[in-house]
Each structure stands twice: as C-alpha cells, then as structure tokens.
Amino acid sequence: MHAGLQIKLLELTRDGRVVSLNELARGLQAAPATLIKQAEDLRSKGLANYHHGRFNLDTRQRVMLAKELIHTGRDPQKVSRFLEWQEFEHFAVLAFEGNGFGVVKHLVFKTRSGRREIDILAWNDTFLFTGDC
C-alpha cells in the first residue's frame, strides 16, 4: 500500500475532517483513478471509512493507520506529527502495551504546590516511564 497516501490521509483528516478522493489526489499530485484501489484496501482493512469518493477516519482508525505506517518503516516522528495529542496518547499506550509494559493513563496526585497529572505511566520489571503527550 502506498505510504504517501496514508500519510496524506492522516494530514488531511485531522479534527474529523472529511476529505474527497479528488482533494487527496491533488495533495498527492496523482490521478484520482489511480487511488481508488488503495482507498478500497484501506476500507477493507478497517483503516478508513471510504464511501462515494469521500474519506473520513475516526480516532481509532487514525491511530491504527499511524501504527501500520511505523510498522512498515516510516519515521515515527514524522507520522506522529499528524496525530492530535489525544491520538498520540492512545498511540503511546498501544506501543507500551504492545511491548509488555503495564500502563496507567491520567495519574493524578497532589503535591505541596497543588494537583499534578501524568498523562502516561508505563512500567515493566526494568523500566519506569512517564509521558506528557
């Protein structure tokens, strides 16, 4: 599957935006007809909603698409730039869990100076990570 199409979809579907096949083709400088099979492949894998020449991706699909891109060798930093912070948080949780870590999201605690929150706390027998997404 064409990684450029997937990255462009992540870029264009931020904030729940619906994107037409023609707009995607313009962004990729490709003929719309050349993208139809790839669009159908994404739909069949559950990575995008594609109907009547229009794409929309929910949060789960965007995170799974980012995960697939990284698994196929794309730069994680580049891919994650196209995720909203909430999506990135979900993505980070999946990455830690997929590597055998326990994970807690939104750990809230009090200090002398007030309430604090850690977005992600991940641990295994050797490491402890905190993350602010």
Q: Which domains does the chain have, with CATH numbers?
A: 3-83 (1.10.10.10)
Residues in Cβ contact with 3 at an 8 Å cutoff, skipping those fewer than 6 apart: 69, 72, 74
For position 16, what pLDDT does the model report?
87
Predicted structure pTM score: 0.82
Mean pLDDT per 10-residue interval, the chain, length 133 residues: 84 92 93 91 92 92 94 92 94 94 96 95 97 90
What phi, psi does 2 have (nearest 5°)? -75, 110
List Cβ neighbours of 89 (8 Å cut-off, separation of 6 or more).
105, 119, 120, 131, 133
